[in-house]
């Protein structure tokens, strides 16, 4: 039962353009969402998060949008840079229910084309 | 500030041997999580621990796997009688006590190869 889904296994974007990575979830109780970036042979690196009481959170080139009614969130990276090439994981938790474990999507491999 | 520290980074074991993976959380963090990533798959939750307590072990295989986070020292994930299917990357993560932040930070991972 995949509660967090990233339906695009891969995405290629031209350098300087906007990268949009999508994530859908099925559990309406999830109340905290995070994006992680992962390079090969390294651990996931935290990028940005959003609480379910918000619909947008911005940090530099990264913006996360949350649509609770659609159970959908997206990560926007603008402008995209070659160093952004990595696998991006969406994750969700039941933080306010006292369980902080993360449920991850299967990841989207982003390739930035110079 | 030191991040989440895992060791060993790489471990090779023969079938039937035991594997022990260690994790020291970030300073000030009291919650530890173990995740596993099989080849070509996403990260799967295994277990969530606080000092001397297992909070959620719903992702742990019922046999051969155990985890602890003692009062002193690192958290340990132990795999007994390893099989080829245990070959994976094992990631440890930590987070602060409740009310002090809600972001989970990961270590660099331990890669287990069973031959």
Query: How many CB pairs below 8 A link A and B?
Result: 58
Helix, strand, coil share of chain B (percent; to 5) = 5, 50, 50
Q: Which two tokens stand for residue B14?
A: 């023969």
> Chain B residues contacting A, CB < 8 Å?
4, 6, 31, 33, 35, 41-45, 48, 55-56, 91, 93, 95, 98, 102-109, 111
Contact A103, A93 (CB under 8 A): yes
* Average pLDDT over all residues of chain A: 93
pLDDT digits (tens, 9 = 90+) for A45-92: 999 999 999 999 999 999 999 999 999 999 999 999 999 999 999 999
Contact A47, A38 (CB under 8 A): no
Comparison of pLDDT for A96 and A31, the residue scoring more: A31
Task: Report how far residue B115's alpha carbon sits from residue B112's, in angstroms, rounded to the nearest whole number.
Answer: 10
pLDDT digits (tens, 9 = 90+) for B9-30: 999 999 999 999 999 999 988 8
Report the gap between the CA of B72 and the closest CA in chain A (Å).
23
Question: Among A9, A33, A44, which would you mutate to test the B interface (most chain B Cβ atoms within 10 Å of its Cβ)?
Answer: A44
Q: Which residue of A has its CA nearest to B47?
A: A101
Residue A76 CB contacts under 8 Å (≥ 6 apart), including other chains: A18, A19, A20, A62, A63, A64, A65
| Residues of A in Cβ contact (< 8 Å) with B91 | 43-44
pLDDT digits (tens, 9 = 90+) for B34-45: 999 987 788 999
* HSE (side-chain half, CA atoms, 13 Å) at B109: 20
Q: Which two tokens stand for residue B82?
A: 């390893």
pLDDT of residue B101: 66
What confidence tier does B100 reach under pLDDT thresholds 50, 70, 90?
Answer: low
pLDDT score of B68 more than 60: yes
A103/B45 touch (CB, cutoff 8 Å), yes or no: yes
Task: Out of B42, B103, B106, name the one closest to residue A107 (CB).
Answer: B42
Task: Report how far residue A72's alpha carbon sits from residue A65's, in angstroms, rounded to the nearest whole number.
Answer: 8
What confidence tier does A41 reach under pLDDT thresholds 50, 70, 90?
Answer: confident
Task: Report how far residue A70's alpha carbon sits from residue A55's, in angstroms, rounded to the nearest whole number.
Answer: 12
Task: Report how far residue B64's alpha carbon sits from residue B59's, in angstroms, rounded to the nearest whole number.
Answer: 13
């Amino acid at each position: 039962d995949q509660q967090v889904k990233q339906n695009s296994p891969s995405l290629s974007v031209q350098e300087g353009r906007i990268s949009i990575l999508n994530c859908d979830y099925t559990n309406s109780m999830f109340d905290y969402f995070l994006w992680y970036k992962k390079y090969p042979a390294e651990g996931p690196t935290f990028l940005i998060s959003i609480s379910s009481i918000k619909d947008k959170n911005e940090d530099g080139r990264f913006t996360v949008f949350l649509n609770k009614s659609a159970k959908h969130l997206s990560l926007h990276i603008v402008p995209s840079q070659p160093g952004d090439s990595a696998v991006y994981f969406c994750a969700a938790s039941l933080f306010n229910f006292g369980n902080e474990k993360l449920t991850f999507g299967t990841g989207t491999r982003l390739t930035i084309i110079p | 500030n030191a991040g989440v520290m895992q060791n060993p980074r790489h471990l090779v074991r023969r079938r039937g041997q035991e594997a022990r993976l260690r994790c020291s959380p970030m300073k000030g963090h009291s919650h530890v999580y173990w995740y596993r990533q099989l080849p070509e798959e996403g990260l799967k939750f295994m277990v969530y621990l606080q000092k001397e307590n297992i909070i959620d072990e719903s992702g742990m295989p019922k046999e051969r796997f155990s985890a602890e986070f003692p009062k002193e020292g690192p958290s340990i994930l132990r795999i007994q009688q390893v099989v080829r299917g245990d070959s994976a990357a094992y990631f440890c993560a930590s987070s602060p006590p409740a009310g002090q932040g809600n972001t989970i930070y990961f270590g660099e991972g331990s890669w287990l190869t069973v031959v």
